[in-house]
């Protein structure tokens, strides 16, 4: 059982001894570190995947992963979610309809994922690169709202504040205020947890936008588009494949998002600049207004 000092930390944070050396002086102390353990997804009693993840918000993780990976089409198809602690990690035992379980069996994707891995174990190129349907509807987002969300996020990242080791995925309302945020050592896991939280809250993807603290890799765009999210802003860079998929999926993709600027890589019409009278000037490697 954790002591009182450990209970002050948020879920997913552990304490470990460290020797800190500064200016030739060594000090031993107990440091806050992010937990990372195997999380096994078990559907209808059959193992499917093992992801290395932070053991927090696990029901959200179960439902979000099931949706973003196309295992179910709607959160209502996720029945009972049982969280079972095992010697080596945690099992998420999820009940899904028999028809979904049969399709899952056909995919033959029993896999072991490294931290946040979104493709590990895919056995064919078609399985590795999924093409979700184009997002049917997505909102316009004001620059001011994006800036507000970016400014709000750090104060809500409690696990990262304690450890400096995790990613965050946040859902912002169109006014830029953060409505939901989830953290994990894996960027894909953080997004899956957020998707699960959104579904449980009944959040409509047309009522806001997604902000992530990581790079915008293909898997992040794929997961967002799969659940109907049409606007994704990443603090770091996008990949070429992510840009191609965003363009194909009708998803607005913003990279290098900062309070003082950003790069627009796909469907930039939805990001509303300060003034239509101030056209954007394209410069290689950056976008300025």
Instruction: List the CATH number of the domain containing 117.
Output: 3.10.20.10
Residue 72 in this model has a pLDDT that exceeds 90? yes
Q: 159 and 68 in one domain? A: no
Examine the domain organization and report whether 41 and 24 are in the same domain: no
pLDDT of residue 149: 98
Cα dihedral across residues 30, 188, 215, 208: positive or negative: negative
Catalytic residues: 117
Residue 145 inside a domain? The answer is: yes
Taking 70 as the threshold, does the pLDDT of residue 93 lie above it? yes
Average pLDDT, the chain: 88
> DSSP secondary-structure letter at 238?
B
How open is the CA angle 42-47-51, to the nearest 5 degrees?
75
Q: Would you say residue 29 has pLDDT above 80?
A: yes
Looking at the structure, do residues 195 and 269 belong to the same domain, yes or no?
yes
Which one, of 181, 183, 252, 182, lies nearest residue 216 by Cα?
A: 252
Contact of 231 with 207, CB cutoff 8 Å: no
Check residue 244 and give its pLDDT: 96
What average pLDDT does the segment 41-66 reach? 96
CA separation for the pair 108, 152 (Å, rounded):
41
Host H or E run for residue 7: helix 4-7
Kindly tell me if the per-residue pLDDT of 116 is higher than 70.
Answer: no
How many domains does one find in the chain? 3
Pair (249, 207) in one structural domain:
yes
Domain, as residue range, for 63:
37-128
Could you read off the pLDDT of 160-187 as tens digits, one per residue? Answer: 999 999 999 999 999 999 999 999 999 9
The answer to whether residue 89 scores a pLDDT higher than 70 is yes
Q: Examine the domain organization and report whether 15 and 61 are in the same domain.
A: no
First to last CA, the chain: 55
Look at the pTM and tell me if it is higher than 0.85. yes
Percentage of the chain lying above the pLDDT 90 cut? 76
pLDDT tens for each residue of 215-236 = 999 999 999 999 999 999 999 9
pLDDT at 114: 47
Query: Do residue 77 and residue 20 come from a single domain?
Result: no
Indicate whether 133 belongs to any domain: no
């Amino acid at each position: 059982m954790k002591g009182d000092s450990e209970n002050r930390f948020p879920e997913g944070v552990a304490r470990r001894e460290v020797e800190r050396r500064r200016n030739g002086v060594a000090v031993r102390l107990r440091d806050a570190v992010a937990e990372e353990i195997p999380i096994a997804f078990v559907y209808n009693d059959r193992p499917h995947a093992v992801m290395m993840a932070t053991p927090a918000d696990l029901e959200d993780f179960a439902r979000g992963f099931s949706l973003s990976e196309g295992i179910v089409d709607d959160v209502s198809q996720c029945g009972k979610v049982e969280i079972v602690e095992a010697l080596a990690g945690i099992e998420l035992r999820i009940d899904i309809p028999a028809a979904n379980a049969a399709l899952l069996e056909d995919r033959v994707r029993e896999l072991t994922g490294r931290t946040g891995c979104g493709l590990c174990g895919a056995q064919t190129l078609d399985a590795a690169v999924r093409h979700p349907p184009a997002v049917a509807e997505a909102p316009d987002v004001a620059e001011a709202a994006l800036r507000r969300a970016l400014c709000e996020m750090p104060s809500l990242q409690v696990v990262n504040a304690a450890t400096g080791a995790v990613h965050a995925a946040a859902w912002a309302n169109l006014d830029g205020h953060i409505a939901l945020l989830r953290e994990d050592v894996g960027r894909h896991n953080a997004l899956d947890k957020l998707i699960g939280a959104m579904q449980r809250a009944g959040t409509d993807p047309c009522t806001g936008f997604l902000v992530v603290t990581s790079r915008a890799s293909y898997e992040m765009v794929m997961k967002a588009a799969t659940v109907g999210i049409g606007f994704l802003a990443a603090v770091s860079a996008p990949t070429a494949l992510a840009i191609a998929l965003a363009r194909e999926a009708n998803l607005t993709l913003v990279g290098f998002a900062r309070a003082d600027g950003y790069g627009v890589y796909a469907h930039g019409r939805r990001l509303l600049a300060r003034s239509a009278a101030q056209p954007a000037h394209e410069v290689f490697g950056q976008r300025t207004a």
